[in-house]
Amino acid sequence: MKDQPMSTYEQLLRIRKERGAGYLVLIDPDKATGAGLPAVVRNATAAGADAFLIGGSLMLSDEFDAVLKTMKASTSLPVIIFPGSLFQISPVADAILYLVLISGRNPDNLIGNHVIASPIIKRMGLETISTAYMLIEGGTVTSAEFMSNTRPIPRAKPDIAVAHALAAEMIGMKVIYLEAGSGATQSVPVEMIRKVSRHCSLPLIVGGGIRTPEEARQKVEAGASFIVTGTVTEENATTDLMRAFADAIHSAAGRR
């Protein structure tokens, strides 16, 4: 009997175990429809990224499947949907973060959209990774905050984030995602990451407003399992910058 192929979630767990922390590069489908996408994906792969996320709070084009196919053709790394809406679902991806916006109280983002999407995802055979998604105050109103019609957790209130993370773990979710939001002027505070990771054993993804490798390093040392960059690598998608992020993330894990 042949061994079953490793699921995308199992691959993420293996990355965390072997490297201590992983580097996820976020691709916005609206900003990735040009001829330069294959080079960006190949450069990130060569630089040491561990996986790709694709998604955005808005989607103004109809190129989602095409962008996914281009990404899959350009890398052997997992490509995971980070959905901003019900329209960001595709069987081309390796998996989808099945986001539950636990920091808000909008019923659509807690269960309503999931009920609509679940039969479609089931028919596609798309792997789901149940993800407890928390918006954290990032210094400005982000697209995620505005479109979700929810308030973020105040950045000076880490205990609120801890309580939400513990509830997610007890419910049986697989991943915690602390998100300051695309274009945030302030990233998730180190003290919040430290407290959440201390009290919750689930893998912890941190993204939004992370602009330097040093900032990424600090968050890994505080307990982040995965770091996501989006805006900074959209603005400067060079191999050198992405390699600096990958090196900082992977090396920091051994120092915590």
Per-residue pLDDT reduced to its tens digit, 7-25:
999 999 999 999 999 999 9
Q: Which residues have CB under 8 Å from 150's CB, separation 6+?
A: 101, 103, 104, 105, 106, 109, 135
Per-residue confidence (pLDDT) for residue 32, from 0 to 100: 79
pLDDT of residue 33: 66
pTM of the model: 0.96
CB within 8 Å of 7: residues ≥ 6 apart: 95, 127
β partners of residue 135: 179
163: its two tokens:
């309580």
pLDDT of residue 253: 76
Q: For the chain, give me the number of helices (H) and strands (E)? A: 11, 8
Residue 185's φ and ψ, nearest 5 degrees, are -85, -15
Burial status of residue 60 (CB atoms within 10 A of its CB: 0-12, 13-18, 19 or more): exposed
Residue 155 and residue 189 in contact, taking contact as beta carbons nearer than 8 Å: yes
Closest CA to 193 of 182, 208, 183: 208
185 touches 138 (CB < 8 A): yes
Structure confidence at residue 233 (pLDDT): 78
Short-list 58, 77, 63, CA closest to 35: 63
Q: Which contiguous run of DSSP H or E holds residue 198?
A: helix 190-199
Which residues have C-beta within 8 Å of that of residue 214, sequence separation ≥ 6?
248
pLDDT in tens, the chain (256 residues): 567 899 999 999 999 999 999 999 999 998 876 778 999 999 999 999 999 999 998 887 889 999 999 999 999 999 999 999 999 999 999 999 999 999 999 999 999 999 999 999 999 999 999 999 999 999 999 999 999 999 999 999 999 999 999 999 999 999 999 999 988 999 999 999 999 999 999 999 999 999 999 999 999 999 999 999 998 877 787 899 999 999 999 999 776 6
Give percent above pLDDT 70 in the chain: 98
- Among 26, 34, 20, 91, residue whose Cα is nearest residue 52: 26
Per-residue model confidence (pLDDT) at position 91: 98
pLDDT number for residue 2: 62
Identify the CA nearest to 210 among candidates 136, 134, 99, 148.
136
Identify the residue whose tokens are 């960006």. Answer: 40
| H or E element at residue 188 | none
Beta strands in 82-234 (DSSP E): 95-101, 127-135, 175-179, 204-207, 226-229
How high is the mean pLDDT of the chain?
A: 94
pLDDT of residue 256: 60
Per-residue pLDDT at 236: 80
